């Protein structure tokens, strides 16, 4: 069964709006939580990542919020742009990042 549950499956947002994607996990041994962005026909590209010693990490318009007690983390895309239209995957692993467990993915469409 999937170790990381991701929702929603898809979302549509207007240009300038906020996109929010949520993920939940059960394995308390997970220690690294990255988000990947994938465009059609391309491989996933690392967007932003967090470790459980912090509750929030921001890089430009992208923010990860992390709730260790609830075993949940989320990606917020602020001021969404048409170029952000892509599929986003949350993932989790132990301390090292070579054994990633992925969520099912969220397709984000930003309407101009």
Partner 1 sequence: NAGVTQTPKFQVLKTGQSMTLQCAQDMNHEYMSWYRQDPGMGLRLIHYSVGAGITDQGEVPNGYNVSRSTTEDFPLRLLSAAPSQTSVYFCASSSGSGGAFFGQGTRLTVV
Helices (H), the chain: none
31 binds partner 1 (CB under 8 A): no
The one among 13, 71, 105, 109 contacting partner 1 by CB under 8 A: 105
Round to whole Å and give the CA distance between 94 and 52: 11
Distance in angstroms (rounded) separating the CA atoms of residues 44 and 27: 23
Strand, coil or helix: 63: strand
Of residues 42-61, those binding partner 1 (CB under 8 A): 42-46, 49
How far, in Å, CA of 59 to CA of 109, rounded? 21
Among positions 7, 65, 101, 109, the unique one binding partner 1 when judged by CB under 8 A: 101
How crowded is residue 14: how many other Cβ atoms within 10 Å of its Cβ? Answer: 10
- Residue with smaller CB distance to partner 1, 53 or 112: 53
Residues in region 60-99 near partner 1 by CB under 8 A: 89, 91, 95-99
Q: Considering the complex, state which of residue 38 and residue 65 has its C-beta at the smaller distance from partner 1.
A: 38
Give contact residues for partner 1 (rule: CB under 8 A). 2, 4, 6, 9, 34, 36, 41-46, 49, 89, 91, 95-105
């Amino acid at each position: 069964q999937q170790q990381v549950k991701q929702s929603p499956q898809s979302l549509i947002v207007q240009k300038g709006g906020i996109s929010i994607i949520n993920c939940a996990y059960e394995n308390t041994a997970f220690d690294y939580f990255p988000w990947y962005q994938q465009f059609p026909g391309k491989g996933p590209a690392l967007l932003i990542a967090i470790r459980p010693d912090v509750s929030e990490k921001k890089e430009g318009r992208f923010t990860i919020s992390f709730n260790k007690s609830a075993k949940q983390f989320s990606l917020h895309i602020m001021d969404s742009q048409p170029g952000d239209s892509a599929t986003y995957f949350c993932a989790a692993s132990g301390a090292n990042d070579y054994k990633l467990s992925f969520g099912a993915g969220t397709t984000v469409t930003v309407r101009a």
